[in-house]
């Protein structure tokens, strides 16, 4: 009996799942009962012939006899991903992990289950308390700089859409998915080509991951902001909290996320090699979800598919880069635009959606590629933190552009493209509220001009994108970390033994899964002994 795979099996959206074996049998010119133990292992949507829509499936099945034409035999090892065989602890020394986002949580999970003593420090609050603080910011414009969309248990990813799609190719990806399912995620994430969790489900999932760390003997502390690293003989030996407490460590995993600017500044002062890197800034575009559904699926609503998503890019000739990219980022179907600042009197925005993706609005970042050379040419001082300086400039300008705290400056898309400010906005679910504004008061022309050209390009691909039904909301400035903490092949920071910068904040990941995998790989390096002091 052979294990076989059939790819690119088209099944009409709306067809009963029980009929999938018949579709597969027809494609293979056989009968359904010969396809034993058939299961769907991957699923995506083909809308190229809308309104005729198809699922595109990859299925696996047991087959007796010569492999049928159109299928391929695959090794049985592909049926599942074995649990990582973590080397057991050979040292009693504590491992301090700074940050309880995906990188920190999964590093803590691996190290604690391997028998290491783990102390996980999170500057923000537990996820339930964090929800209340985010609610206060959205309802009344009250910011807690330590508990918000970026800081707190689960990291920034807990308050987005919970997207799990990644281009990272590593066995740990499947293990991360399985860990999410074990913590309560829908098993469909193991099948969907573009899986997501949703903020509402992520809250419970993150709590269960914390419980798993605690059950393995790990320690988790909240409202424990690390103010500085403590070094001896050039190596990290402890961390010092904002309270003054020092916690000794055999190794420190720095999983701080892309918005912990004070920790980045402290790391630089401690001798950590930091380099500026490209990132992107722009706005968050918000449209009626039905407009996106109609453009993508040919219908305003298709229950079997839910809210439609999009991914758009546009390249613009540029003397410095040859081609400057404008692209959609973190698209949230049926979601919300939310304020995501971490510093007083500065404003950034982001998008999130719950698992049902059920609001009447779709939103996405629309951002322009930025390089350190762009910033120096614009007059910012050269240095490793030049990107952070630019982010702060934009966020302060966005805060000043409105009359009430954490209202967001916005412009209707058709007005923006026409170069006017009519003062009229399209409907929105952003809270605490939008105010019509001229985005030229927020961002420089060398960002706004390619942004406008990119949106015109998007409108040629997605009908209605440039219509009066959409808003552009400023400012989307936290797409990724504008720095990289340089590390070696052993995952340690160059020149600072014992320090392991990981995840998005260190410049080595971009999203929940890639950050989690990076945390796991650092944990693997520590456990395997590749990391030497």
Cα dihedral sign for 257, 258, 263, 268? positive
State the CATH number of the domain containing residue 263.
3.50.50.60
250 and 150 share a domain?
yes
Q: How many domains does the chain contain in total?
A: 3
Asked if residue 154 is part of any domain, the answer here is yes
Indicate the average pLDDT of the chain: 95
125 and 269 share a domain?
yes
Asked if residue 89 is part of any domain, the answer here is no
CA distance 214 to 319: 54
Which residue, 23, 49, 76, sits at the end of a domain?
76
Nearest of 218, 241, 220 to residue 229 by alpha carbon: 241
194 and 264 share a domain?
yes
CB under 8 Å to 135, separation ≥6 — which residues? none
Cα dihedral sign for 464, 467, 469, 470? positive
CA distance 330 to 479: 8
136 and 283 share a domain?
no
The per-residue pLDDT for 475 is 99
Nearest of 3, 9, 14, 46 to residue 24 by alpha carbon: 9
State the average pLDDT over residues 162-174. 87
312 and 453 share a domain?
yes
Poorest-confidence range of 85-99, 401-415, 430-444? Answer: 85-99
Asked if residue 332 is part of any domain, the answer here is yes
In this predicted structure, the answer to whether residue 439 has a pLDDT above a threshold of 60 is: yes
Poorest-confidence range of 22-36, 103-117, 169-183, 493-507? Answer: 169-183
State the average pLDDT over residues 325-348. 97
Strand order from edge to edge, sheet including 95-98 = 219-222, 118-122, 95-98, 251-254, 499-501
Q: At what angle do helices 102-113 and 199-215 cross, to 10 degrees?
A: 30
State the average pLDDT over residues 94-100. 98
11 and 119 share a domain?
no
CA distance 28 to 24: 6
Which residue, 476, 492, 511, sits at the end of a domain?
476
Asked if residue 7 is part of any domain, the answer here is yes
State the average pLDDT over residues 448-472. 98
The per-residue pLDDT for 532 is 41
CA distance 201 to 352: 12
State the average pLDDT over residues 154-158. 92
State the CATH number of the domain containing residue 14.
3.30.70.2700
434 and 508 share a domain?
no
Poorest-confidence range of 180-184, 187-191, 519-523? Answer: 187-191
Residue 533: pLDDT band by 50, 70, 90 thresholds? very low
Cβ(368)–Cβ(321) below 8 Å? no
Token representation of residue 60: 């696996």
216 and 144 share a domain?
yes
- Model pTM? 0.93
Instruction: Give the domain range for residue 496.
Output: 95-275+482-528
463 and 521 share a domain?
no
The per-residue pLDDT for 442 is 98
Cβ(22)–Cβ(32) below 8 Å? yes
What's the Rg (C-alpha) of the chain? Answer: 24
Higher pLDDT, 199 or 27: 27
Token representation of residue 488: 């070696």
Residue 90: pLDDT band by 50, 70, 90 thresholds? low
In this predicted structure, the answer to whether residue 65 has a pLDDT above a threshold of 70 is: yes
Residue 89: pLDDT band by 50, 70, 90 thresholds? low
In this predicted structure, the answer to whether residue 216 has a pLDDT above a threshold of 90 is: yes
In this predicted structure, the answer to whether residue 531 has a pLDDT above a threshold of 70 is: no
Half-sphere exposure in the Cβ direction for 245 (13 Å, CA): 10
468 and 488 share a domain?
no
Asked if residue 398 is part of any domain, the answer here is yes
In this predicted structure, the answer to whether residue 31 has a pLDDT above a threshold of 80 is: yes
In this predicted structure, the answer to whether residue 32 has a pLDDT above a threshold of 90 is: yes
Higher pLDDT, 191 or 160: 191
385 and 421 share a domain?
yes
Asked if residue 90 is part of any domain, the answer here is no
Cβ(350)–Cβ(340) below 8 Å? yes
106 and 197 share a domain?
yes
Which residue, 76, 110, 137, sits at the end of a domain?
76
State the average pLDDT over residues 166-182. 90
Residue 134: CB atoms within 10 A of its CB come to 22
Residue 265: CB atoms within 10 A of its CB come to 14
Cβ(110)–Cβ(84) below 8 Å? yes
Asked if residue 418 is part of any domain, the answer here is yes
Asked if residue 533 is part of any domain, the answer here is no
Percentage of the chain lying above the pLDDT 90 cut: 88
CA distance 327 to 460: 14
In this predicted structure, the answer to whether residue 335 has a pLDDT above a threshold of 60 is: yes
Cα dihedral sign for 483, 338, 444, 325? positive
Higher pLDDT, 298 or 92: 298
């Amino acid at each position: 009996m052979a294990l076989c795979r059939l790819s690119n099996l088209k099944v009409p959206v709306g067809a009963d799942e029980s009929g999938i074996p018949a579709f597969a049998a027809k494609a293979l010119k056989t009968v359904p009962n010969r396809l034993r133990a058939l299961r769907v292992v991957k699923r995506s949507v083909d809308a190229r012939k809308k309104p005729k829509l198809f699922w595109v499936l990859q299925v696996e099945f047991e087959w007796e006899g010569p492999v049928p034409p159109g299928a391929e035999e695959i090794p049985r090892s592909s049926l599942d991903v074995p649990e990582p065989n973590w080397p057991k602890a050979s040292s009693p020394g504590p491992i301090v992990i700074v940050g309880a986002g995906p990188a920190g949580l999964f590093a803590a999970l691996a190290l604690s289950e391997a028998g290491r003593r783990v102390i996980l420090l999170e500057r923000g609050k537990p996820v339930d308390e964090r929800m209340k603080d985010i609610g206060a910011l959205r309802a009344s414009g009250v910011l807690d700089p330590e508990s918000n969309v970026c800081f707190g248990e689960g990291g920034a990813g807990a308050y987005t859409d919970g997207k799990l799609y990644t281009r990272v190719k590593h066995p740990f990806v499947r293990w991360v998915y399985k860990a999410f399912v074990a913590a309560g995620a829908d098993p469909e994430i193991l099948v969907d080509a573009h899986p997501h969790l949703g903020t509402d489900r992520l809250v419970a999932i993150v709590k269960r991951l914390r419980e798993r760390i605690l059950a393995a003997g790990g320690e988790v502390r909240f409202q424990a902001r690390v103010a500085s690293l403590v070094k001896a003989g050039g190596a990290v030996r402890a961390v010092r909290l904002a309270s003054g407490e020092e916690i000794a460590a055999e190794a420190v995993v720095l999983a701080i996320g892309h918005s912990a600017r004070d920790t980045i500044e402290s790391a630089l002062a401690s001798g950590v090699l930091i380099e500026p890197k490209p990132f992107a800034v722009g706005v968050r575009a918000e449209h009626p979800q039905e407009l996106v559904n109609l453009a993508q699926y040919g219908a305003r609503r298709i229950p079997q598919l839910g809210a439609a998503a999009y991914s758009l890019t546009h390249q613009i000739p540029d003397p410095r880069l040859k081609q400057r990219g404008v692209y959609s980022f973190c698209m949230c179907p049926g979601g919300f635009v939310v304020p995501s600042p971490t510093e007083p009197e500065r404003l950034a925005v982001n998008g999130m959606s719950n698992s049902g993706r059920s609001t009447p609005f779709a939103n996405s970042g629309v951002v322009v590629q930025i390089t350190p050379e762009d910033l120096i040419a614009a007059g910012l001082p050269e240095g490793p933190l030049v990107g952070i300086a630019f982010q702060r400039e934009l966020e302060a300008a966005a805060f000043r552009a409105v009359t009430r705290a954490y209202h967001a400056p916005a412009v209707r898309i058709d007005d923006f493209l026409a170069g006017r400010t009519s003062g009229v906005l399209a409907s929105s679910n952003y809270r605490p509220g939008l105010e019509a504004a001229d985005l030229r008061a927020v961002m420089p022309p060398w960002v706004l001009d390619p942004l406008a050209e990119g949106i015109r390009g998007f409108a040629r691909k997605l009908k209605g994108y440039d219509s009066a039904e959409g808003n552009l909301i400023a400012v989307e400035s936290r797409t990724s970390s504008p720095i990289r903490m340089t590390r070696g092949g052993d995952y340690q920071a160059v020149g600072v033994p014992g320090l392991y910068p990981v995840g998005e904040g260190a410049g080595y990941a971009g999203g929940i899964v890639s950050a989690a995998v990076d945390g796991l790989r650092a944990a693997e390096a520590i456990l395997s002994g590749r990391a030497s002091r």
